[in-house]
Amino acid sequence: MDVAAWCSQSRVWVVAGKGGVGKTTVTATLAASAASAGLSVLIVELEGKRGLGTTFGRKGPVGYEPVALLGSGPDDAGTLGKPPAGGVWARRLTPDDALLEYLGDHGLQRVSKRLVSTGVLDVVATAVPGIRDVLVLGKVKQLERAGVADMVVLDAPATGHAMTFLTSASGLLDAARGGPVRQQAADVVELLQDPARCRVLPVTLPEEMPVSETVESARLLRDRVGIHLGAVVVNCYEKGPPELEVPAADAARDSGAALGGPASDALDAARTFRLRRLRLVEEQVGRLARELPLPQLRLPRVFAPSIGPAELDHLAGAMSGAIEGLPPPDGTL
């Protein structure tokens, strides 16, 4: 499927999964892939960590004001409201940021800063579980409604059970009787349930535990919240070259080299170890396909000390290739 068309199926893409599976990397990869197809992309980051900027070669964490990670940035006067075609901007959005904006939008600008600095959000958050998530997603909804970019990619938080972030709004909707909080939760649920506006992209590693957890949480999101899952990203997928099947001694003989017993044994031990590991990967992606029948976007493991612009380019190319290999949607996703 065409990359721009695939990404345009929905305005907001929520990249979700347990901590460490590669959410931030996949967020950056999807954004870069969409941008290379000509879309304008805004990444919304919720933790203010360093990782996202680093992948694009930017030093330091991303702040509240949008910054350009690819292409030209917002101008100083702040009049350029949208990333250019092929550009990626990013901004951070914490519950405090979202609360400040919410209060500001509701005529409480002057008190809002003091409320946040005195930790009032913590009190509210304890009294109304899920309010943080609803505030943040409410802001995302506002960005989506304002058409801030062709595509908004949200790097979902990893804290606790990663998926509660997305189930909070429906929980709150059940609990709150009325008022602005209920309205905000209702708007968020509406966003989450509309596949033309929002889809979730679960990320997993091709390993037993992550696959089991991904299957479980994806089903929960679909069944309990009615969220649409775009595809599942298998990060750090590895496939061995066919030569790995050939015993070392045979390979040596075929190429006219002499290989002694101990060397050949050592090579075969390494080869068998690797084969066994790759078989486990295949087993897990097979199980994932059976238990969560979604298209899989497989991203390779890159061998580098950290992921910078060159690695990101490589991953984005793999992402684009995987999307191009997908069949057109048949309405069942």
Ligand X SMILES: Nc1ncnc2c1ncn2[C@@H]1O[C@H](COP(=O)(O)OP(=O)(O)O)[C@@H](O)[C@H]1O
From the list Mg ion, ligand X, none, which binds 235 (C-beta under 5 to 8 Å, kind-based)? ligand X
Contact with ligand X (CB under 6 A): which of 46, 134, 140, 299?
299
From the list ligand X, Mg ion, none, which binds 57 (C-beta under 5 to 8 Å, kind-based)? none
Contact with ligand X (CB under 6 A): which of 235, 249, 294, 323?
235
Residue 25 binds to ligand X (criterion: CB under 6 A): yes
Applying the rule CB under 5 A, the residues between 13 and 72 that interact with Mg ion are 23-24
The whole-angstrom distance between residue 26's C-alpha and the CA centroid of its chain comes to 5
Burial of 196: CB neighbours in 10 Å, binned 0-12, 13-18, 19+: exposed
Applying the rule CB under 6 A, the residues between 151 and 170 that interact with ligand X are 158
CB atoms near residue 292 (< 10 Å): 19
Tokens of 265: 């044994």
Residue 321 binds to ligand X (criterion: CB under 6 A): no
Task: Check if the beta carbon of residue 168 is closer than 8 Å to that of residue 98.
Answer: no
Q: Say how far apart CA 94 and CA 315 lie, in whole Å.
A: 28
Rounded to the nearest whole angstrom, what is the least distance from the CB of residue 29 to ligand X in the complex?
8
Number of residues located near Mg ion, criterion CB under 5 A: 2
For residues 168 and 235, which CB has a smaller minimum distance to Mg ion in the complex? 235
Q: Say how far apart CA 10 and CA 193 lie, in whole Å.
A: 11
Burial of 84: CB neighbours in 10 Å, binned 0-12, 13-18, 19+: middle
For residues 24 and 54, which CB has a smaller minimum distance to Mg ion in the complex? 24
Task: Check if the beta carbon of residue 22 is closer than 8 Å to that of residue 205.
Answer: yes
Stretch that binds ligand X, among 16-24, 134-142, 188-196, 247-255 (CB under 6 A): 16-24
Q: Determine the residue with CB nearest Mg ion.
A: 24
For residues 27 and 184, which CB has a smaller minimum distance to Mg ion in the complex? 27
Say how many residues make up the chain.
333
H runs (alpha helix) in the chain: 3-7, 23-36, 51-55, 95-105, 109-117, 120-127, 131-145, 164-175, 179-193, 208-220, 248-254, 261-291, 309-324
Residue 277 binds to ligand X (criterion: CB under 6 A): no
Contact with ligand X (CB under 6 A): which of 123, 301, 313, 325?
301
From the list Mg ion, ligand X, none, which binds 253 (C-beta under 5 to 8 Å, kind-based)? none
Residue 235 binds to Mg ion (criterion: CB under 5 A): no
Q: What angle do CA 215, 216, 219 make, to 5 degrees?
A: 85
For residues 38 and 325, which CB has a smaller minimum distance to ligand X in the complex? 325
Residue 306 binds to ligand X (criterion: CB under 6 A): yes
From the list Mg ion, ligand X, none, which binds 40 (C-beta under 5 to 8 Å, kind-based)? none
From the list Mg ion, ligand X, none, which binds 22 (C-beta under 5 to 8 Å, kind-based)? ligand X
Give residues with Cβ within 8 angstroms of 196, minimum separation 6: 9, 10, 11
- Interface residues with ligand X (CB under 6 A)? 19-25, 51, 158, 235-236, 299, 301-302, 306-307
- Interface residues with Mg ion (CB under 5 A)? 23-24
